[in-house]
């Protein structure tokens, strides 16, 4: 079992696009949205994963993630998803020794853009890039499982 330590922010401008070193297309859906144990299916370009996440304790939570066949993932999304199917474009942005993931949401969530940074410890120090605005870590309104 791994621990996910993540901070999340709203994005204020599109300067991350020029700084990005990668761009990925993501489709994801949830099989379970219970905050104690969310179960997500994600297809990122040509790879697929099933992920189970435990309840947040601040910026920290348990996380288990496993590769699965893309066709199985798409079938689960089509047949088993609860709630909306999320489509987003993820930009990978290196900044001062850390990697930021910036997600531009599409479809019904068009206009929402959030930036996340995964850390090795909750007290890890890091700088904020110019595109980062209000912190929304721990705000359930911005959990992908709530969108």
Active site residue ranges: 30
DSSP letter (8 states) at residue 79: H
Q: Which residues contact 126 (CB under 8 A, 6 or more apart)?
A: 96, 97, 98, 117, 119
Q: Across-strand partners of 117?
A: 7, 100
Task: For 77, list phi and psi in degrees, rounded to 5.
Answer: -60, -45
Rg (CA), the chain: 15
CA 127 from centre of chain: 20
SS3 70: helix
Tokens of 93: 């942005």
């Amino acid at each position: 079992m791994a621990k996910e330590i993540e901070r999340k922010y709203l994005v204020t401008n599109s300067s991350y696009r020029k700084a990005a070193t990668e761009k990925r297309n993501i489709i994801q859906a949830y099989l379970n949205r219970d905050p104690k144990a969310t179960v997500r299916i994600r297809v990122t370009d040509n790879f697929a994963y099933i992920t189970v996440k435990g309840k947040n304790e601040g910026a920290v939570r348990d996380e288990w993630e496993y590769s699965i066949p893309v066709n199985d993932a798409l079938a689960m999304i089509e047949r088993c998803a609860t709630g909306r199917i999320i489509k987003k474009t993820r930009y990978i942005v290196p900044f001062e020794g850390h990697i930021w993931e910036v997600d531009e949401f599409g479809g019904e969530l068009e206009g929402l853009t959030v930036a996340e940074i995964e850390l090795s410890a909750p007290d890890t120090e890091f700088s904020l890039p110019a595109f980062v605005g209000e912190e929304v870590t721990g705000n359930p309104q911005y959990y992908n499982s709530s969108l």
